Structure 1
Amino acid sequence: MGATSVLDRLAGSLVADPELVTLAPGSFDHPQPGEFLGEGHPVAAPRILAKVIGPLKIMKYQVSASEYGRCVTAGSCKAADTPGSGNFPVTGVSHIDAEAYTIWLSAQTGATWRLPTDAEWAYAAGERFRSDIEGGAGDPDNPARRWLAQYRTEASLGRKSDPEPRAQGAFGINSKGLADVAGNVWEWTSTCYVHAAIAANGISIVSSIDNCGVHVVEGFHRTYMSNFIRDGKSGGCAVGTPPDNLGFRLVRERLNVVRAALRHLGFS
């Protein structure tokens, strides 16, 4: 049995380990997240060759209400705003809540769990990834034109309100093997909101400021929410109709074999 198989089996023998999808390393054309200004007015995000280094182990399903509930029972997570149980995705959780869950799950399993980056989520989402709703070139004399163009673009995509969470798997499996990508539960990532100035070539970033009080949220399209928001409809969505629900799925980064073995034997 290979070393990787041993690690996976050991991790799964502790707390019920979430089902994972393992994606091979790769690269892809990707629009950068954030707000970008060219000559003082909004412009489309520059595109880069994003790279995912090393195998990416990501949850097949979003964290369920029952999985999150165990963290709440342990006193390590705050109860979600939206009641739920069983194999329904947990919703009504903030970025702060998601981070608390990663800390608890890591302690329970001996593995390191974290939120995916924007690029990792997009890579795993495959054909279901949709970037920011763009409004075309900004008009410095009338910024409302760009806002209206953004709303018209979103309206043309035919999205309808769909507030009730559904059982895991209800939105099907994408080409990468992940379930419910871009369904009605939008997902927190670890990527901070960026405000950047673009050079005249439309590619190079002249300056940028990270705002880690706001993070990238992925779903029907990419948007940005303040870390404390638990209900996307309460405010904080940068563009368009707000998310129906906020939830998350995690990446398993590595497994500490010694720590996992001690947990399995009943030692803290």
Structure 2
Amino acid sequence: MKRPSSLLLALLLLPAAPTLADRGARPAAAAALVPVAILPKDGNEQYELAFWESIKDSSHAADYEAYLNTYPNGRFAALAKARIARLKADAAKTTPKAEQPKAEATRPEAPKAEAPKVEPAPKPEAPPPAARKPEKQEKPRLKAVEQAPASAGADAPPPAVPPAAAAAQELRDCPTCPPLVSLPAGAFNMGSSTGDPSERPVHRVSLARPFAIGKYEVTRGQWAECVSAGACQRAGENGEPGEPVRDVSWDDAQQYLKWLSQKTGKSYRLPTEAEWEYAARAGSGSRFWWGDQMRPKMANCKDCGEPWRKEGPAAAGSFAPNAFGLHDTSGSVWEWVADCWHPSHAGAPADARAREAPNCRTRVIRGGSWRDGESYMTSATRFKYDSGVRQSQNGFRVARWVD
């Protein structure tokens, strides 16, 4: 989803031109022509190409429909329409007419998730033991966090039980609500000076009050409860309840947040972009929350090791948590945040507020997805989509203020 703007057309003509998710495997001849910057400059042509690259091998008609909704007269519009027609024809041939639900008749059923090959993590759909026991007094909250320098312990392996995760206060507002982790107030350096111009400048952000954020991305099972209540519409392809919900727009996420707020009496929202990066970094200053080099079983992406499958993301919590106890901030699905898109951090607020703009329709997504390569897993990675677009790589996690 990210590509330098210079020599863009020349690269498209190269026989071995790399895909957006394969920057690390670029042929030498192509690499010599590509500038050092690894992420795209802001421009409609680059973003359209990035969108297409992310879905061009998809087997789901909804992905091509999302492209056409965003770029109805785009350069790949004819190809997108042809793919949709082919997928619908294939679905009609393979699905018995009596079993075709009206809303999903044109979409083939996605393969079920394979069992993760890692040590089992607590399922987000079942409250952890601590959440089942009534607490007569509040657990101690984390002390304010100051981000570590980028060079400090960048390549040191993470502890078996990160200290911050062990002390983090977990909250759950109802038995089936998304579990939350209460994060302390603190300050950190947001952005990256070595990545895309959209991640610059690196700037200091202070969070004056604690807040709670989803321990996991919202799952299909949690979304299904909102659908059953008539407050949300059915989302995307079929899948297991413990998988992150995806193929939901920013606008769809607002419906879920409104329903969850009414259900619990708490004011749920999307995290701001600054809150999201603060939570994802968990006190680190390195490229990834665990260091500067990719390590196995840390992120759900195609270059990140098992458990991974090309058909879809692993169940929530299948990969290691960061030092705040949050799972899947790198990979799995892109996550919507509250902010309106701006092409850089120039002028960003220093107090972690959401950045808005009049009549904003383009919103920020963070974190990369399972379809992307390791270079998208960095804590500073950011991208954008129209708030009404549903794309099979996009999901979200919830946030709210701590009482």
Give the alignment's TM-score, normalised by structure 2.
0.43
* Shift in alpha-carbon separation, 1:84–1:54, aligned structure 2, 3 A: same
**Closer/same/farther in 2, CA of residues 209 and 106 from structure 1, 3 Å limit:** closer
What percent of counterpart residues are identical? Answer: 34
Q: CA deviation at 1:103?
A: 0.2
Alignment of 1:82-231 (within 5 A): 82-126=237-281, 127=284, 162-195=310-343, 210=357, 212-219=360-367, 220=377, 221-231=381-391
How far apart, CA to CA, are the structure 1 residues paired with 2:190 and 2:249?
26
Larger Rg: 2
User: Which position in structure 2 is the counterpart of 1:140?
Assistant: none
The residue type equivalent to 1:103 in the other structure is K
**Partner amino acid, structure 1, of 2:234:** A
Q: How does 1:49-64 map to 2 (within 5 A)?
A: 49-64=204-219
Q: Distance in 1 between matches of 2:221 and 2:198?
A: 42
Hey, what does 1:263 align to over in structure 2? none
Could you tell me how far 1:252 is from its partner in structure 2? 2.1
Q: Are 2:403 and 1:248 equivalent residues in the alignment?
A: no
Give distance in 2, aligned partners of 1:100 and 1:128. 34
The Cα RMSD (Å) is 3.6
Distance 2:363 2:213 in 1: 19
Distance change (3 Å), C-alpha of 1:11 and 1:66: closer
Is the contact made by 2:200 and 2:346 (CA closer than 8 Å) also made in structure 1? no
Moved more, 189-198 or 50-59: 189-198
1:29 aligns with 2:174: no
Q: Structure 1 residue 11: deviation in Å?
A: 6.5
Equivalent residues of 2:170, 2:181 under 8 A apart? no
Q: Which has the higher contact order (CA 8 A, sep 6+)?
A: 1
The 8 Å contact of residues 60 and 179 in structure 1, kept in 2 or not, is answered as yes
Tell me by how many angstroms 1:23 deviates.
Answer: 1.2
In 1, distance between residues paired with 2:198 and 2:179? 40
Shift of 1:177: 0.7
Deviation at 1:22, TM superposition (A): 1.2
Q: Which structure is higher in strand share?
A: 1
Partner of 1:19: 179
226, 236, 242: which is aligned to 1:71?
Answer: 226
Q: Which ranges of structure 1 fall in alignment gaps of 5 or more residues?
A: 37-41, 132-156, 200-207, 233-244, 256-268
